[in-house]
Amino acid sequence: MEKTIREQLIELAEEEYKKFSSNLLPGINNILGVRIPALRKIAKQIAANDWRSYLEKASDEYFEEIMLQGMVIGYAKAELEEKLSYVKKFDPKINNWSVCDSFCSGLKITTKYKEQVWDFLKKYYSSNNEFELRFYVVMLIFYYIDDEYIQQVLDALNTIKHDGYYIKMAVAWAVSMCYVKLPIATTTFLINNDLDDFTYNKALQKITESLKVDQETKAVIRSMRRV
């Protein structure tokens, strides 16, 4: 008899990996300990079959079950409108950075429909929910840091005001990626912005940690730190 999704997950669970993941996700207490490549393999298998029925009935009891749903939505073959309807249904389940970032990385349909998805994302920009906002910011990181969108991205990052740690870290990450990819536009932004000191300094730190930034430039970036 074919094993259920949960049975597969429980079989793949590793106690040491569970401890490792739990340390990275404080407050998330429903982790089994299944590695990401194993989850992706199962997600691809589901997406190749009746994925709609799976998503309709999928359980949210375990962290990996939620992660799996996000991956399936990413892999599933569907028109944009249908895909975005599943994104909308899934977003309320995001309650940690790992599910958020994994989900965003899988929404590669965005590269084909950048303008439409940009419009779709606007409602998340206005959200007060920490992980809805992080979803918005991480989508910008993965799909919109380019010549066409850079100014809109920087303007959005500059006006996000939220005290959530995972928002501040996402904005800092986004600013650092903007700098790595488009340093001229981002340098202008770094000189004049409305970021809070924590987020601004974290962005500078992340820039200096990048292997794509030379040592001389890193020294300049460090000198821009707010005391």
pLDDT of 3 reads 75
User: pLDDT digits over 108-122, tens only?
Assistant: 999 999 999 999 999
Tell me the whole-structure pTM to 2 decimals.
Answer: 0.95
Mapping DSSP onto H, E and C, the string for 155-194 reads: HHHHHCCCCCHHHHHHHHHHHHHHHHHCHHHHHHHHHCCC
Low-confidence ranges of the chain (pLDDT < 70): 1-2
Inter-residue contact 104 to 138 (CB < 8 Å): yes
Give the pLDDT score at 2: 60
- At 65 the pLDDT is 97
Residue ranges covered by each domain of the chain? 1-107, 113-227
